């Protein structure tokens, strides 16, 4: 039976396993190892958004879950980059949307760019974000641009 205090050790061992650096720890039975793997996979699945979960729900092991996720979301191919660029450059905030939600989505897309090794300079990020705001923020955008012009 796996003890609650073993959770951190289990996660570290499984992380090493995913990186190909380790296998089942010595003294751990196959049954305990399979239980740890299943619990860890279930914990990861609970953290996934519905859109991601639908694509990895058939994976039962941590290694399978990780490999499938990496294949789907971390590949650095042309189509993934195109998809991300369409998301970023087509980003528009709808009237009534909470600014924090819009910023969270913007930051999510930016972090996905980092994952596929695409760099966007800070000024471009600022301009894209400002241009994506809804019309009700036009006065704020104009003020920000005016202040930047004065300070440069």
Using alpha carbons, list the distances in angstroms from residue 101 to 2, 91, 108, 110: 39, 12, 11, 14
For 74-99, what is the mean pLDDT? 88
pLDDT above 90 as % of the chain = 35
Percentages helix, strand, coil for the chain (3-state, rounded to 5) are 70, 0, 30
122: exposed, middle or buried (C-beta count within 10 Å: 0-12, 13-18, 19+)? exposed
Contact 91, 128 (CB under 8 A): yes
How many Å apart are CA 120 and CA 89, to the nearest integer? 12
Q: Minimum mean pLDDT among 7-16, 66-75, 131-140: which range? A: 7-16
Q: pLDDT at residue 84 above 70? A: yes
For 7-36, what is the mean pLDDT? 68
State phi, psi for 12 to the nearest 5 degrees. Answer: -65, -40
The whole-model pTM stands at: 0.56
The pLDDT assigned to 140 comes to 93
> First CA to last CA across the chain, in angstroms?
64
The pLDDT assigned to 52 comes to 81
The pLDDT assigned to 98 comes to 94
In 3D space, the residue among 98, 53, 44, 97 whose CA is nearest the CA of residue 72 turns out to be 53
Question: Comparing 94 with 55, which gets the higher pLDDT?
Answer: 94
Residue showing tokens 């979301």: 73
In 3D space, the residue among 118, 51, 130, 49 whose CA is nearest the CA of residue 82 turns out to be 118
For 63-89, what is the mean pLDDT? 82
In this predicted model, what pLDDT tens digit does every residue of 105-117 receive, in sequence order?
Answer: 999 999 988 888 8
For 103-130, what is the mean pLDDT? 92
- pLDDT band, very low/low/confident/very high, at 135 (cuts 50, 70, 90): very high
- Rg of the chain over CA atoms, in angstroms? 21
Taking phi over 0 as left and psi of -120 to 50 as alpha, with beta for the rest, 96 belongs to left
- pLDDT band, very low/low/confident/very high, at 2 (cuts 50, 70, 90): very low
């Amino acid at each position: 039976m796996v003890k609650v205090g073993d959770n951190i050790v289990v996660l570290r061992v499984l992380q090493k396993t995913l990186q190909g650096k380790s296998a089942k720890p010595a003294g751990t039975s196959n049954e305990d190892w399979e239980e740890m793997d299943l619990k860890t996979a279930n914990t990861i699945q609970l953290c996934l958004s519905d859109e991601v979960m639908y694509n990895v729900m058939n994976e039962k092991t941590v290694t399978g879950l990780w490999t499938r996720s990496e294949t789907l979301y971390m590949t650095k191919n042309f189509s993934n980059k195109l998809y991300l660029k369409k998301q970023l450059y087509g980003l528009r905030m709808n009237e009534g949307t909470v600014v924090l939600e819009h910023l969270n989505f913007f930051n999510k897309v930016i972090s996905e760019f980092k994952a596929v090794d695409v760099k966007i300079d800070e000024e471009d990020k600022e301009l894209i974000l400002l241009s994506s705001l809804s019309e009700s923020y036009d006065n704020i955008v104009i003020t920000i641009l005016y202040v930047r012009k004065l300070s440069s």
